[in-house]
Amino acid sequence: MKNKNTDLNPEIFSALSTMDQNSLQQLKPSFSPVDKPQPKNMFISPKAIEKRWQAISCPAAREHLLDQNTLASMSQYQKNIENFIGTVKVPVGIAGPLRINGLFAQDDYFLPLATTEAALVASYNRGALLITEAGGCSTMLLNEGVCRTPGFAFETLIQAGQFVAWATTQQENFRQISEASSNHLKLKDLRINIEGNNVYLIFDYLTGDASGQNMVTIATNCALEYIIENTPVAPKHYFLDANLSGDKKATSQSLAGVRGKKVTSEITISADLIKKRLHTTPELMASFWRMSTVGGVLSGSVGVQGHYANGLAALYIACGQDAACVAESAVGVTRMELNDDGSLYAAVTLPNLMVGTVGGGTGLASQQANLQLLGLAGAGNARALAEVCAGLCLAGELSIIGAFCAGHFAKAHRKLAR
């Protein structure tokens, strides 16, 4: 139990309470010189890598992180990382085949999942096979867009209003300037949010087959430079993104709208198939969903779902996506209901799938290989990849809820993780 007057762990509280002044010195700032600084050159070169390892002084780690294959291929990482010292090998398993009946994804997909969590691939594989045996999931991309939200601070609300009045006349200029920064980007919409004497401009873009974070950053910065040079009311200060975009975080705004790609996927599964493959009943799965939905509301969850992040993180790492975007991509809603004929209706809706099939890490050898395994490498495939992500999450929800209902969740982890 914690001390009732502090949120400190009891052992930490006890230790602090008994420390003398000399012992507390270790918590104060230290300005002694750094013994082994790493080189200032952040780029990849044999010389810079050698200096970094000299600073680290850990031969045992070097043996595993900087093997001969990594040395031979390190130049390909030049635009993906700074202060490079090596590579980490993450095991990849496949789940599936998963049958997707989508607007853009129409196939039986083997899904490469990179993870160190035992039981994860087995769970998604079970859900994928169940979906396929039930005829596949119907999946639809509903909307797409990626935003950047520069913020402007003014002295008064009157100045903010004057700025907004001007900005609303500039959308065509913003469009031309931002779209000139990329051959693939399109300005979809410009929205405005006023909070007192602060103004947020919401630039919403289409980014083609790229996930698009860097693309929209560069485009919005071009528009921002134009704004500062031409605005009739100069702001006290301004920022390229004022945290209204929902970038790399779960937000209620994105749940109601779109960030990246919004996709929904559904399936109906007979009671016989639920019993055969999940060893439970549609009635119990629907009851679990109702109780877990209330649990999600009580916990303050943004959206209500079981574990989207598990499958998305594994697929993102395998396929060269920005893994940090799982923070927003794993927002969504799962629904399970009992049909009149006793079958189970299950659906997932994910409004924030930040995925791409070009750019970022998708061109690296292993990641490109996994996209090729999916049949979704290169231009023209980002929408299909988003639909596959929704099908993957549906498979994971069916499997984990089935495991809880059948009492197999802990048993599976004991069997596969120990």
Q: Which residues are catalytic?
A: 117, 322, 413
Q: Which amino acid is at 22?
A: N
Picking from 368, 348, 349, the residue whose alpha carbon sits closest to that of residue 358 is 368
| CA 208 – CA 50 distance, rounded (Å) | 39
SS3 category, 48: helix
Picking from 69, 52, 61, 135, the residue whose alpha carbon sits closest to that of residue 100 is 135
| CA 301 – CA 174 distance, rounded (Å) | 36
Residue 85 to residues 33, 58, 62, 186, 234, Cα–Cα distance (Å) = 23, 12, 8, 37, 45
Exposed, middle or buried, 22 (CB in 10 Å: 0-12/13-18/19+)? Answer: exposed
DSSP state, 188? E
Specify whether the CB–CB gap between 247 and 157 falls below 8 A: no
Picking from 338, 270, 335, 275, the residue whose alpha carbon sits closest to that of residue 306 is 335
DSSP state letters, 145-186? EEEE--EEE-SSHHHHHHHHHHHTT-HHHHHHHHHTT-SS-E
Residue bearing tokens 């990329």:
182
| CA 43 – CA 25 distance, rounded (Å) | 38
Picking from 213, 233, 232, the residue whose alpha carbon sits closest to that of residue 221 is 213
**Element holding 288 (H helix, E strand):** helix 282-299
Chain centre to alpha carbon of residue 292: 23
Sign of CA dihedral 317, 321, 323, 328: negative
Specify whether the CB–CB gap between 110 and 97 falls below 8 A: yes
Cα pseudo-dihedral 368, 370, 376, 379, rounded to 10: -10
Residue bearing tokens 């853009």:
104
CA-only gyration radius of the chain, Å: 25
Picking from 99, 129, 406, 395, the residue whose alpha carbon sits closest to that of residue 278 is 406
